Amino acid sequence: MISAPRDTFTIPLSTGATLDLGSRCLVMGILNLTPDSFAERGPHPDVPSAVETALRLEADGADILDVGGESTRPGAAPVTADEELPRVLPVLRALHGRIRIPVSIDTYKARVARAAIEAGAAIVNDISGLRYDPDLAGVVAETGAALILMHMRGRPATMAAEAVYTDVVRDVTAELEQRIAAACAGGVPLDRIIVDPGIGFAKQPSHSYGVLAHVADIAAVLDRPVLVGASRKSFLREALSDRPAPERDWGTAAAVTAAVLAGAHIVRVHAVAEMVQVVRVAEEIRRHG
């Protein structure tokens, strides 16, 4: 079999719309509003240029826009909500009414999530899986936003030391089950939850490749839609040597293809126009396989 099965899901959003997952893999475009992104060159964007970039990502074929104001690269130091909010809110407000695709806020802070949802975001993308801020589940439940729960251990500054697994696929799956249970206990309906196995987060390259190869197994156990974020990440250096992050799009294309064939529902990427082509071809392979 050339491709794994992919179940269909309808995810309610806080805007009243729904996100239909499964008929094809969706592309989530990344809008970094941090001054220290690992994956992109260039200065911290101002609001007009950020809005221009967001609209270009939509025009390039992004199905979802993921807006982030804090770097979570390995070794990154945390920022406060007071630092994060001025980075993301002006852009979200400027995009409101101008962008048609759903907007996700990449944050683990309840205060930032609430403000972002009020400004038009419909999805909360939490790298911590609700481990960092005990109030975040309540905000998601109250506002009706969808929730992406990512697997990781520790914090970005310390997570490398946590990359010890007995069986990485089983361990990641079990820990995501725990995060789903925590979300539901916090009032988030199961039908609003998407999972992300956290490629590159508290994982050695071999762990990330192992998780990527077994997306279908993770999805089958959890019975939730799966997002895969492999774009330009450092695990690709295992195959690409020391090529810098902005030059890893060919490697990203291979990882995206593998994710689509493995049944991923969403892929999160930087180079949207290029990866849309990759996803479309991979989907044709699935269809004919």
Enzyme catalytic residues: 233, 268
Distance CA 286, CA 197 (A): 22
Helix, coil or strand: residue 220 = helix
Among 161, 231, 237, 144, residue whose Cα is nearest residue 196: 231
Beta strand spans in 127-271 (E): 146-150, 193-196, 227-228, 266-269
Residue 219 near residue 176, CB atoms below 8 Å: no
Report residue 170: phi and psi, to 5°: -65, -40
Rounded alpha-carbon distances, angstroms, from residue 141 to 82, 109, 193? 23, 14, 11
Distance CA 109, CA 11 (A): 22
Give residues with Cβ within 8 angstroms of 45, minimum separation 6: 33, 53
Tell me the chain's radius of gyration from C-alpha atoms. 17
Segment 114-117 long-range contacts (CB within 8 Å, at least 24 positions apart): 114/139, 114/143, 115/85, 115/89, 116/67, 116/88, 116/89, 116/92, 117/14, 117/143, 117/145
Residue type, position 109, single letter:
K
Integer distance in angstroms from the first to the last C-alpha of the chain?
A: 7
Token pair of 100 as six digits:
């048609």
For the chain, what is the largest distance between any 2 Cα atoms, rounded to a whole number of angstroms? 50
